[in-house]
Structure 1
Amino acid sequence: MQKLFSKGSLYALPIALLTLIPLLVVLSSFLHPQPEIWQHLSEYVLPRVLKNTAILMLGVSAGVLLLGVSLAWLTAVCDFPLRRFFAWSLMLPLAMPAYVLAFVQVGLLDFTGPVQTLIREWTGDSSWFPRIRSTGGVILVLTLAFYPYVYLLARNAFLTQGKRGIEAAQMLGMSRRMAFFRVVLPMARPWLIGGVLLVLMETLADFGTVSIFNYDTFTTAIYQSWFSLFNLPAASQLASILVLFVLALAVAEQWGRGRRHYAVRGGSAERIVLRGAGRHLALAWCSVVLLIAFVIPFIQLLVWVKSVWVLDFDERYPWFILRSIAIAGMAALLVTGLGLILVYAQRRYKDTRWLVRLATLGYAVPGTVLAVGVFIPIAWLDNLLIPVLAYFGVVTTQVLKGTLVVMLLALAARFMAVAFAPVDAAMQRITRNQEDAARSLGLSSRQVLRRVHLPLLRGGLLTALLIAFVDVMKEMPITLMTRPFGWDTLAVRVFEMTSEGMWERAALPSFFIVLMGLIPVILLVRKTED
């Protein structure tokens, strides 16, 4: 008990509660089961969404491993034309939200899209062309949107190995291909597991893409239960099942790491020079992925923006942009400030590590779940405050519901880890000797924070602000489910247009979101270039 309520816990516990309360509220729905709801869910909803979610997770996992590992190996270890260009350009899909890539691909590849129209003009028939509005189409889009997570981590693993693993295996009589599967991939296992688990969490959290494809998963079922059926208990029950999925993935991540330690050594600068057909295949593979995942969709986005700019860019759009910037700015400042407190508490008080872990768990939780988990206690608090205010002559039907407070609380819980990670990385570079030297000059802990830590953390804080800002700009379900009345943002505008199948009109807000997303990608490029 002494450790639980130590001084460090007083800093970290209130921040951890931002994530814990919504999760506990959602999970508490198991304590109050409603037989009629569970009967409806088990008969009409759960079989479909469980099957769809399982297929989606398996398909996307296989897809991101194929793309991420192969591209990482080629750009990290091999040498072929335009390798340095592909090393950074293959990260550009990170700038395009999955739901933007989804509606662009549907607009391009659907029956009435330019691709099938051109095929019919040339051949007279496009019935043989694969349907984009299918399970395979959803898997393809999410794979193209999320493969950079595996690519970045796998590339880092391969860069630390260089050719040494291959050369050691070849000395034992293995072929290069055998050495790749029996030596290189097992050595990269922690990075690959981490990347795939991150992709799985993003897949579970995705709402915009699956809604565009009308592909029912837990996130769409939660949204429909709340806003279409007006059944918050059903939404809560579904959210509780999804939370169990997420917690299972978090446990799997820890189990995957286990107690193993993988030594990281500097890789050899010498690369495997691809010759003949190998170099052409490598160039073609990287080019095709980049074209399909970013270049062609971005060009199509520009074409649509040009066609609708005059008609669609009206007096509402400056407000869409300003509201998006305002919400993203407030949320970024909030999570960066809270992230700094967590980092400092963890630095000063070792017993806060488990609280920090809980506080940053929200990134693994879908936005629909956090929206439900935040709304329920806020509604309960409103019911307590309304009679009190009425007693003092203030007549109102809501106090906190429908305000920015609800949205900011949910966004803070969701993106706490995004701000914490770069600040914590910057803090790790500050040695204990620097702190001891400052204290030996008579500085108090507060002065050390202000005069030593904050100046040295400036880069990490700016990175946290920027990445959090862009992530909130791209976020859809929390904004859609908790925004105040009339506070439509760019992401909400994309959802409204895509739900009506108006791909061209959805291009304009998407274009502004993608422009914002390019900024952190450029930062990642500068840090990962070799």
Structure 2
Amino acid sequence: MAAIVLCGLTLLPLAALIVAAFQSDAGAFAHYAQTVLPRYIANTLALALAVAVGVTLVGVSAAWLVTMCRFPGRWFFSWALVLPLAVPGYVSAYAYTYLLQHPGPVQTALRNVTDWGPRDYWFPEIRSLEGAAFVLVMVLYPYVYLLARTAFLQQSATAFEASRTLGRSPWRAFIEVAVPLARPAIVAGLVLAVMETLADYGTVYHFGVETFTTAIYRTWFSMGDRVAAVQLALILVSFILLLIALERVGRRGQRFSDMRASRPMPGLVLKGWRAGLAVLACVIPIASGFVIPAVTLFGLGVSLNVPWLDPRTTGLISNTLTLAAIGGVVTVAVAMVIAYARRLSRGRLTQILGHLAGFGYAVPGAVIAVGLLIPLGALDRAINVMTVSVMGVKVGLILTGTIAALIFAYVVRFLAVSLNGVEAGLARISPSLDGAARTLGSGPFTTFRRIHAPLLRGGLLTAFLITFVDIMKELPATLILRPFDFDTLAIRAHRLASDERLAQAAVPSLMIVAVGLIPVILLSRQIARSQQRSGRSDRRLFTLASVREEETPPALLSGEPAPGDDDGASNGKSRSAIAA
């Protein structure tokens, strides 16, 4: 029952949007449809398509290089390629705007060297749809990289080497064998990156690209048209549902088997210019997604010559960490209840609601915020009416005026992240442990506390760290639902950048990167260690199988009696020992 109630609450914003969308006539929306809606649709689809192509090319190629090839610095690149996850898209946008805009250092140096005037040369406009796509690709490709690399590590060398014996070059074998086998993982990372693109607000707002997220915010808060904002939000949700449906239809009828049975993929040793190209292919994403934004922000912060930890900045850090910590703990706790209920109960209702509870990750933060303002605002008004009539006291905004609404939004938005981590950890725990505990008289709660919780400690920590980083970087929901006079590092950076004070925005932006860098490094190192352990296990198994095969007489392998055997009895025992 607790899981059903929690799942129902996570679906509350979407239900509120559907109800509110049909409460008024469509006159205002018809005007939007004739004027600005085609531009919103075109920009949103073009941005999503550009990011999809970019993250696929960068993520898959980087994952293949660090997995399949051997070149200088491969181990360092294998975990350093995850670092751009610590940089929010809007923070990277601030850094690149300062570097590449007309009065920025790059164009200024170009004019000083060439003596050109402002109109004597052409330079790419960073504040454009193309600039937004570049920035988002550089910070979102780790979604594809991580999942693709895991898929490549789990592939066996059997299929790849079979294609090589049939005359395929390493490049064609990669395209025709390795990539199709890793397709589910690649598509999963691609869908995550596209969802993050559709949910982005800070980057597209700063670059002046009109998408659905900026339109929703402007329609609600600048124009005061709540119904039109809700209808725009529903259109965006429809796009996301269509994306998920297309991915499912594309996989219909296809089956993918785990071919990790024999031995891991061999490594291609790269030398000379090939090794140089591999290093360059790994350096460019790391530099573009992490090093250049971080160094630029640090230089801007140093040039200000102001204390970085003044009382105001310290307060912003405290607010940000408080929201991220509370939101992470509550989200993981809700995920534990839902995941454990799905483990205990195989009922259809529990399973369906569990799947729907993770839908919030596909919904942008601005849409969730708008969907929560409607029911929570009505509940606040009802509470005030009741307290005035009963006690003669007006309590004010209990929900929408405190961080309660923000925590609610964070749970809805990032529950899928925690839920996947908790369910993955529970799946590794054998159901026989549950049965043994129940036969010894332990109830479900005692079993979870004494058996599941200790075994889930690592998975829960990972889920909390990922949720912590996501909440800390989240901007649109925080911007809409935050209490009065309660700012975070993300909001402070957004306000300063909106006023074109990019130098002042560098300090809070760099704080976001610095705080988010610690969990990202811990996660990347943990992934690297687990993959090294997995690789060592695979090598041990392959070596043991090879040794046993070499030490086994051919007669035993063929099933014929060995020389000197009186009958086949001892031969059968030997075969049983080899099989064991």
Please report the TM-score for the alignment, with normalisation by the length of structure 2.
0.86
The match for 1:64 among 55, 70, 73 is: 55
For 1:328, what is the secondary structure of its paired residue? Answer: helix
Q: Equivalent residue for 1:429?
A: 428
Correspondence 1:209 to 2:203: yes
CA shift, 1:389, in A, is 1.9
Q: Distance in 2 between matches of 1:350 and 1:287?
A: 48
Q: Equivalent residue for 2:353?
A: 355
| Pair 1:446–1:259, CA change in 2 (3 A) | farther
Q: Distance in 1 between matches of 2:425 and 2:333?
A: 15
For 2:425, what is the secondary structure of its paired residue? Answer: helix
Q: Distance in 2 between matches of 1:259 and 1:157?
A: 20
Is residue 498–residue 506 contact of structure 1 (8 Å, CA) maintained in 2? Answer: yes
Tell me how many residue pairs correspond in the alignment: 521
Correspondence 1:235 to 2:222: no
Which residue identity does 1:391 align to in structure 2? S
Is residue 50–residue 217 contact of structure 1 (8 Å, CA) maintained in 2? Answer: yes
The match for 1:340 among 336, 342, 351 is: 336
Q: Distance in 2 between matches of 1:526 and 1:327?
A: 26
CA shift, 1:370, in A, is 0.2
In the TM superposition, what whole-angstrom CA distance separates every residue of 1:316-367 from its partner, at most 9, and x where no partner exists?
Answer: 1121111111111211111111111011101101122211111111111100
Q: Equivalent residue for 1:405?
A: 404
Is residue 86–residue 286 contact of structure 1 (8 Å, CA) maintained in 2? Answer: yes
Q: Equivalent residue for 2:212?
A: 218
Q: Equivalent residue for 1:6?
A: none
Q: Equivalent residue for 1:52?
A: 43
Q: Distance in 1 between matches of 2:251 and 2:482?
A: 38
Q: Equivalent residue for 1:491?
A: 490
Q: Equivalent residue for 1:82?
A: 73
1:71-470 to 2 correspondence within 5 Å? 71-125=62-116, 127-161=121-155, 163-258=157-252, 260-266=254-260, 268-308=264-304, 310=306, 313-351=309-347, 352-392=350-390, 393-395=392-394, 398-470=397-469
For 2:343, what is the secondary structure of its paired residue? Answer: helix
Q: Name structure 1 gaps, 5 residues minimum.
A: 1-9
CA shift, 1:162, in A, is 5.5
CA shift, 1:429, in A, is 1.9
| Pair 1:83–1:162, CA change in 2 (3 A) | farther
Q: Distance in 2 between matches of 1:262 and 1:406?
A: 42
Is residue 87–residue 289 contact of structure 2 (8 Å, CA) maintained in 1? Answer: no
In the TM superposition, what whole-angstrom CA distance separates every residue of 1:261-300 from its partner, at most 9, and x where no partner exists?
Answer: 3122335252011233211111122122221221121111
Which residue identity does 1:504 align to in structure 2? A
Q: Distance in 1 between matches of 2:3 and 2:250?
A: 27
Q: Which is worse superposed, 23-32 or 83-92?
A: 23-32
Is residue 29–residue 240 contact of structure 1 (8 Å, CA) maintained in 2? Answer: no
Q: Equivalent residue for 1:4?
A: none
Is residue 103–residue 503 contact of structure 1 (8 Å, CA) maintained in 2? Answer: yes
Q: Distance in 1 between matches of 2:492 and 2:192?
A: 27
Is residue 170–residue 179 contact of structure 1 (8 Å, CA) maintained in 2? Answer: yes
Q: Which is worse superposed, 395-404 or 154-163?
A: 395-404
CA shift, 1:206, in A, is 0.4
Q: Distance in 2 between matches of 1:308 and 1:97?
A: 22
Q: Distance in 1 between matches of 2:400 and 2:291?
A: 42
For 2:11, what is the secondary structure of its paired residue? Answer: helix
Which residue identity does 2:23 align to in structure 1? H
> Pairwise CA RMSD of aligned residues?
1.8
Is residue 205–residue 366 contact of structure 1 (8 Å, CA) maintained in 2? Answer: yes
Kindly indicate whether structure 1 or structure 2 has the higher relative contact order, using CA contacts under 8 Å at least 6 residues apart: 1
CA shift, 1:183, in A, is 2.0
Q: Distance in 1 between matches of 2:151 and 2:165?
A: 22
Q: Distance in 2 between matches of 1:389 and 1:469?
A: 36
CA shift, 1:105, in A, is 0.9
Give me the identity figure in percent: 43
Q: Name structure 2 gaps, 5 residues minimum.
A: 533-580
Correspondence 1:471 to 2:470: yes
CA shift, 1:442, in A, is 2.7
Q: Which is worse superposed, 307-316 or 407-416?
A: 307-316
Which residue identity does 1:134 align to in structure 2? S
Is residue 157–residue 266 contact of structure 2 (8 Å, CA) maintained in 1? Answer: yes
Is residue 27–residue 243 contact of structure 1 (8 Å, CA) maintained in 2? Answer: no
Q: Distance in 1 between matches of 2:242 and 2:487?
A: 35
Which residue identity does 1:181 align to in structure 2? I
Q: Which is worse superposed, 28-37 or 100-109?
A: 28-37
Q: Equivalent residue for 2:555?
A: none
Is residue 162–residue 271 contact of structure 1 (8 Å, CA) maintained in 2? Answer: no
CA shift, 1:446, in A, is 2.2
Which residue identity does 1:154 align to in structure 2? A
Q: Which has the larger radius of gyration?
A: 2
In the TM superposition, what whole-angstrom CA distance separates every residue of 1:179-237 from its partner, at most 9, and x where no partner exists?
Answer: 22222222121111111111111100001110110111000001111111122212111
Q: Distance in 2 between matches of 1:418 and 1:443?
A: 30
In the TM superposition, what whole-angstrom CA distance separates every residue of 1:77-118 from its partner, at most 9, and x where no partner exists?
Answer: 011111111111111001111111111111111111111111
Which residue identity does 2:73 align to in structure 1? L
Q: Distance in 1 between matches of 2:428 and 2:326?
A: 28
Q: Distance in 1 between matches of 2:187 and 2:23?
A: 36
Q: Which is worse superposed, 216-225 or 130-139?
A: 130-139
Which residue identity does 1:14 align to in structure 2? V
For 2:266, what is the secondary structure of its paired residue? Answer: coil
Which residue identity does 2:433 align to in structure 1? Q
Is residue 83–residue 290 contact of structure 2 (8 Å, CA) maintained in 1? Answer: yes
Q: Equivalent residue for 2:9?
A: 18
Q: Distance in 2 between matches of 1:139 and 1:122?
A: 29
